[in-house]
Amino acid sequence: KSGEMAKSTQLIDNDVFRAYATYATIVLLKMMSMSLITAYFRLTRKAFVNPEDVASFGKDENAKKYLRTDQDVERVRRGHLNDLENIVPFLGIGLLYALSGPELSTALLHFRIFTGARITHTFAYLIPLPQPGRGLSWAVGYAVTISMAYKVLKTALYL
C-alpha cells in the first residue's frame, strides 16, 4: 500500500502531513454536518426561505406561512458561518504549517486543540452553553491558527 501511494506523491507518507489530512478532514466533516442540522431544523420547525421549498405543503396561502425565519434555524446557520470564517484559515494556514517542517508532537498538539475547540464551539452554540463558553472555544481555535501562521511566516517568509 505504501508503494502505491509513493507512486503519486511522497506527501501522504509524511507523518505530519497525515496528521494534517486526518484533522482537516474531521473538522470539514464537522462543518458539513451543520448543513444536515440546518435541514433537520428547517423540516421540524417548518421554516423555509425559497417558495419552491414549500410547494409540497399545498396551494399558495397555506404554504406561504412556512416561508419564515426560525430562531433555531438561524442559530445553526450562524454556527455554520462561524465555522467557515475559522476553518478556512485553519485549512490554508494548517496546510502550509504542515509543509514547513514542524515537530510531529507540536503539530499534533496544534491540530488536536483546534479540532477540539471547534467541536466544543459547535456544542456551545447549539445547546447553547452560557458565555464565555462559546467565546473561549472560539478564541482557542483562533490562537492555534495564529500560532501556526507565525511558524509559517518564520519558515517561509518571501515577500
Residues that bind its own copies (CB under 8 A): 1, 4-5, 7-12, 14-19, 21-22, 24-25, 28-29, 31-32, 34-35, 49-50, 52-53, 55-56, 75, 78, 80-81, 84-89, 91-93, 95-96, 99-101, 128-131, 134, 138, 142, 145-146, 149, 152-153, 155-159
Inter-residue contact 115 to 31 (CB < 8 Å):
no
Complex with its own copies: residue 65 or 78, whichever CB lies closer: 78
| Distant-in-sequence, close-in-space partners of 112: CB < 8 Å, separation ≥ 6 | 23
Q: Which three cell numbers stand for residue 130?
A: 452560557
Output the smallest distance, CB 122 to its own copies, in A.
14
Cell representation of residue 75: 442559530
Strand partners, 48: 67
Is 92 or 140 the residue whose CB approaches its own copies more closely?
92
Q: CA-based Rg of the chain, rounded to a whole angstrom?
A: 20
Query: In angstroms, rounded to a whole number, what is the distance separating the alpha carbons of residues 93 and 149?
Result: 6
Residue number, 4 or 61, with CB nearest to its own copies: 4
**CB 157 → its own copies: shortest distance, Å?**
5
